[in-house]
């Protein structure tokens, strides 16, 4: 596989980053995952804009322009012959050649930019979308700026492991009795035809798929309510689902052992998945 590191396209075995890189030592980095369908990038503009916001919120320098980022994405997709898959991008504050809590001088320290692809044939035809997934709930003990897409992913990793141990697929996080989001996706319930999902704040990641799905839902005259909800409310909902760049719209059919709705993917989630795939493909670059 060919990967990109700081201006160079290299075989993955030759790619190198400093051991003093602040992402390695302090999780001082941000990332984006963009899906590729039919060789085209889905929601690229949204991901590029959110990357710029994450960088700004952390006082980090942008490694290059949005146009340059798009060119790098396309070049990697082409070189690795990706039809369906993902492009992972990471920007870190770079390395000052030592370990120090204080940020290094941005005048003399260049950010590190790394991109690689993951080949996922049939990404849009995931069998899980037909059966739905099972989730468990866990206390949300992440930091208070979940709107910034940092590489600090230890707790989400632990949550996925706990879900797996419980015979489930993923976890939903709960804070003050209300669902924040999934471990790597935004969470929704459907009740009486209404699509309910937590409002945007520092408590959740502002999902690019979430923004697109809510826009398409409103365009299709579906009712959207942005508010938080409890686990009990979700267990009694007609449907539940999650959204993310890599899973699109994924039905959730079980929560903490309780079946949601009929225990199979519901019509709203199925329709939103269809609309999202169709409309976002039209806008793909
Ligand atoms: N919430 C969290 C915590 C995530 O990690 C992700 C994606 O990685 C999302 C939500 C969904 O965001 P997006 O739709 O931009 O992939």
Domains and CATH numbers, the chain: 2-122 (3.30.470.10), 128-282 (3.20.10.10)
Kindly report, residue by residue over 20-72, the tens digit of the pLDDT: 999 999 999 999 999 999 999 999 999 999 999 999 999 999 999 999 999 99
Give me the percent of the chain exceeding a pLDDT of 70.
Answer: 100
Q: Please state the atom number of ligand 1 nearest to the C-alpha of residue 181.
A: 1
Distance from chain centroid for Cα 99: 29
In this structure, the residues whose C-beta lies within 6 A of any atom of ligand 1 are 33, 181, 184-186, 205, 207-210, 243-245
- Rounded CA gap, 198 and 216, in Å? 17
Phi-psi region of 268 (alpha: psi -120 to 50; beta: other; left: phi over 0): alpha
Candidate from 140, 244, 252, 280 with most ligand 1 atoms within 8 A of CB, to mutate:
244
In this predicted complex, what is the ipTM?
0.99
Average pLDDT over the chain, rounded to an integer: 98
Kindly report, residue by residue over 78-121, the tens digit of the pLDDT: 999 999 999 999 999 999 899 999 999 999 999 999 999 999 99
- Rounded CA gap, 271 and 269, in Å? 5
Q: Which of 175, 31, 11 is nearest to 111 (CA)?
A: 31
149 is catalytic: yes
Contact 282, 254 (CB under 8 A): no
- Rounded CA gap, 238 and 248, in Å? 20
Name the helix (H) or strand (E) containing 171.
strand 170-175
- Rounded CA gap, 108 and 172, in Å? 41
Of the candidates 16, 56, 120, 149, the residue annotated as catalytic is: 149
Two tokens, residue 90: 């990471």
- Rounded CA gap, 10 and 7, in Å? 10
Distance from chain centroid for Cα 237: 24
Q: What are residue 157's phi and psi, to 5 degrees?
A: -65, -45
pLDDT for the residue numbered 96: 86
Q: Which of 228, 183, 223, 178 is nearest to 205 (CA)?
A: 183
Looking up tokens 């322009």 gives 65
Confidence label for 276 from pLDDT (cuts 50, 70 and 90) = very high
Name the helix (H) or strand (E) containing 26.
helix 22-26
Q: What are residue 211's phi and psi, to 5 degrees?
A: -60, -45
Atom 3 of ligand 1: nearest residue by CA position: 184
pLDDT for the residue numbered 70: 98
Kindly report, residue by residue over 166-208, the tens digit of the pLDDT: 999 999 999 999 999 999 999 999 999 999 999 999 999 999 9
- Rounded CA gap, 26 and 17, in Å? 14
- Rounded CA gap, 32 and 151, in Å? 10
Two tokens, residue 16: 């190198």
Total length of the chain? 285
């Amino acid at each position: 596989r060919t990967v990109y590191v700081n201006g160079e396209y290299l075989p993955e075995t030759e790619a190198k980053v400093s051991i003093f890189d602040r992402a390695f030592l302090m999780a001082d980095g941000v990332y984006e995952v963009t899906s590729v369908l039919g060789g085209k990038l889905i929601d690229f503009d949204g991901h590029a804009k959110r990357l710029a916001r994450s960088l700004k919120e952390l006082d980090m320098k942008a490694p290059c322009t949005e146009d340059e980022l798009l060119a790098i994405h396309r070049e990697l997709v082409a070189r690795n012959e990706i039809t369906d898959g993902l492009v992972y991008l990471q920007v870190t504050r770079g390395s000052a050649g030592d370990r120090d809590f204080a940020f290094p001088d941005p005048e003399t320290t260049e950010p590190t930019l790394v991109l690689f692809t993951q080949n996922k044939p049939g990404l849009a035809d995931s069998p899980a979308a037909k059966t739905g997934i099972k989730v468990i709930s866990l206390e949300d003990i992440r930091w208070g700026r979940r709107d910034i897409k940092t590489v600090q992913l230890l707790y989400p990793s632990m949550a996925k492991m706990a879900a797996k141990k419980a015979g489930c697929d993923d976890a939903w996080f709960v804070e003050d009795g209300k669902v924040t989001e999934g471990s790597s996706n935004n969470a929704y319930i459907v009740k009486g035809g209404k699509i309910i999902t937590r409002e945007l704040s520092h408590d959740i990641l502002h999902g690019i798929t979430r923004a697109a799905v809510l826009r398409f839902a409103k365009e299709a005259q579906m009712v959207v309510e942005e508010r938080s909800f409890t686990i009990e409310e979700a267990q009694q909902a007609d449907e539940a689902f999650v959204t993310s760049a890599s899973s699109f719209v994924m039905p959730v059919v079980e929560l903490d052992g309780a079946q949601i709705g009929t225990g199979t993917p519901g019509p709203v989630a199925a329709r939103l998945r269809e609309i999202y795939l169709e409309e976002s493909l039209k806008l793909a670059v």
